[in-house]
Amino acid sequence: MALQAGIVGLPNVGKSTLFNAVSNSAKAQASNYRFCTIEPNVGQVDVPDFRMDKLAELVKPERIVPTTIEFVDIAGLVKGASKGEGLGNKFLANIREVDAIVHVIRCFEDENILREEGAINPVSDKEIIDTELQLKDLESIEKKVARTEKMAKTGGDAKAKAELEVLKRCQAHLEQGKNLRELGLSKEEKQATADLFLLTEKPVLYVANVDEGSLHTGNKFSQALEAAVKAENAQVIVMNNTIEAQISEMEDPADKEMFLSEYGLKEPGLNRLIHSAYRLLDLITYFTAGVQEVRAWTIHTGWKAPQAAGVIHSDFEKGFIKAEVIAYDDFVKYGSESGARDAGRLRIEGKEYVVADGDVMHFRFNV
């Protein structure tokens, strides 16, 4: 599943530095001038998971295949982007294509790094981007309202009338300067706007890029940001993107561990970011474990066994018969698939089984 989280923010807030740190497959150019990133960079990133390492320790497979998530480094936004200022149209089109947003906000002072917006103000920076996304969504909503009103009037279409009610609620919400993800539309109501790929409906995760001294406690800027997004029920991750980029370049595990120790860190902040982005996309992991490979597979929360099987191959879903399931904790407790089976902890599940995070599974199918 090539699900994507787009890294966004104003120019020179540390977006590309973060992308360089988080990406295992690509390096973005990080320079101190506007619009350094023009075409979006895409990096596929392994999702760290201690459970996969433990399974591999028990099974001793020929190879280990982690699951992945894609991060997209999108051009820096400026005020007026919704009207085409700077690279606004390109920026907004790129955001439209991602599944979730990682919003990087500058929470440090450094006179050597350009800033056109004046004094450091993370709340204002957040609002600049929010406003541009809201204006673009409002433009899309208004166009569809006009079309839907005609359909509702001329045909007396019940579906059009129901859609119009949802669209007008969205319009009023945006006109109040609020993001649509705060509106709480039901799954059915969201169908009215599904074809618009609205920007402020996407889930968001905030990264407060702080100075080294604020790495553990945050600072007045990150604290102001946390207070500002409290109503959104959004998570704020405090990081120093430059330090994370340095850690990511270290190949020797001992060097990395020593570097982390110097900064009093147990693990890279990137691990927290990747896990948070994964959860933000409402994803979970199940595993297949055998002598050839231990592999992690990404699915959405709530998927049933046949859908999960389809991630491996479409034939698995089409011809699904049963799934052999061992909970991760049981697999580890009894040391192997055979040990779990002997203890009566291997279950046979059918088409209605909802896969749990960490399940170790094998599928029976017939095509």
Beta bridge partners of 295: 65, 288
DSSP for residue 79? T
**What's residue 95's pLDDT?**
81
276 and 317 part of one domain: no
Instruction: Quote the CA–CA distance of 93 and 99 in Å, as a whole number.
Output: 13
- Please identify, among 196, 212, 244, the residue that sits at the C-terminal boundary of a domain: 196
Cα 309 to its chain centre, rounded Å, is 23
104 and 27 part of one domain: yes
The pLDDT tens digits for 133-177 are 898 899 999 999 998 888 877 766 778 888 899 999 999 999 999
Residue 15, marked binder: yes
Residue 166, marked binder: no
Q: Residue 300 — φ and ψ, nearest 5°? A: -80, 145
Q: Are 43 and 162 in contact (CB under 8 A)?
A: no
First to last CA, the chain: 23
Find, among 352, 358, 329, 325, the residue nearest to 341 by Cα. Answer: 325
**pTM, two decimal places:** 0.82
92 and 31 part of one domain: yes
328 and 219 part of one domain: no
Instruction: Quote the CA–CA distance of 13 and 183 in Å, as a whole number.
Output: 29
Which pair of tokens denotes residue 42? 């895409």
In a domain, 27, yes or no: yes
111 and 164 part of one domain: no
Residue 236, marked binder: no
Count the Cβ atoms, other than its own, within 10 Å of residue 1.
14
In a domain, 59, yes or no: no
Single-letter amino acid code for the residue at 249: E
CATH of the domain at 137: 1.10.150.300
Instruction: Quote the CA–CA distance of 106 and 157 in Å, as a whole number.
Output: 49
Instruction: Quote the CA–CA distance of 62 and 58 in Å, as a whole number.
Output: 12
Residue 322 structural domain = 302-365
- Residue 270: pLDDT over 90: no
Residue 12, marked binder: yes
Find, among 297, 308, 314, 294, the residue nearest to 349 by Cα. Answer: 308
74 and 171 part of one domain: no
The whole-chain average pLDDT of the chain stands at 86
Find, among 255, 183, 241, 176, the residue nearest to 212 by Cα. Answer: 241
Cα–Cα distance list, 42 to 39, 96, 121, 215 (Å): 10, 15, 29, 27
Spatial strand order in the sheet of 63-65:
63-65, 293-300, 283-289, 360-365, 320-326, 347-349
- Give the mean model confidence (pLDDT) for residues 81-90: 48
Which alpha helices (H) appear in 219-289, and where do they start and end?
220-228, 241-248, 253-262, 269-280
Single-letter amino acid code for the residue at 179: N
12 and 95 part of one domain: yes
CATH of the domain at 335: 3.10.20.30
Domains contained in the chain, number? 3
In a domain, 289, yes or no: no
183 and 312 part of one domain: no
175 and 205 part of one domain: no
- Among 29-33, 161-165, 218-222, 267-271, which range has the highest average pLDDT? 218-222
Instruction: Quote the CA–CA distance of 77 and 91 in Å, as a whole number.
Output: 7
72 and 209 part of one domain: yes
Instruction: Quote the CA–CA distance of 166 and 151 in Å, as a whole number.
Output: 15
**Helix and strand totals (H; E) in the chain:** 13, 12
In a domain, 294, yes or no: no
Beta bridge partners of 287: 296, 360
- Residue 62: pLDDT over 60: yes
**What's residue 317's pLDDT?**
95
Residue 322, marked binder: no
pLDDT interval class at 14 (50, 70, 90)? confident
pLDDT interval class at 106 (50, 70, 90)? very high
190 and 207 part of one domain: no
Coarse DSSP helix, strand, coil percentages of the chain, rounded to the nearest 5 percent = 45, 20, 35
**What's residue 78's pLDDT?**
53
112 and 16 part of one domain: yes
CATH of the domain at 274: 3.40.50.300
In a domain, 54, yes or no: no
Cα–Cα distance list, 326 to 134, 153, 334 (Å): 46, 56, 10
- Please identify, among 173, 196, 219, the residue that sits at the C-terminal boundary of a domain: 196
Residue 13, marked binder: yes
pLDDT interval class at 40 (50, 70, 90)? low
- CB burial class (10 A; 0-12, 13-18, 19+) of residue 171? middle
In a domain, 291, yes or no: no
In a domain, 288, yes or no: no
- Give the mean model confidence (pLDDT) for residues 26-38: 41
Q: Work out the percent of the chain whose per-residue pLDDT is above 90.
A: 47
- Please identify, among 161, 178, 196, the residue that sits at the C-terminal boundary of a domain: 196
**What's residue 132's pLDDT?**
85
Single-letter amino acid code for the residue at 134: Q
In a domain, 233, yes or no: yes
- Give the mean model confidence (pLDDT) for residues 334-342: 96
Helical axes 122-155 vs 220-228, angle rounded to 10°: 20
The pLDDT tens digits for 291-301 are 999 999 999 99
CB within 8 Å of 327: residues ≥ 6 apart: 345, 356, 358, 359, 360
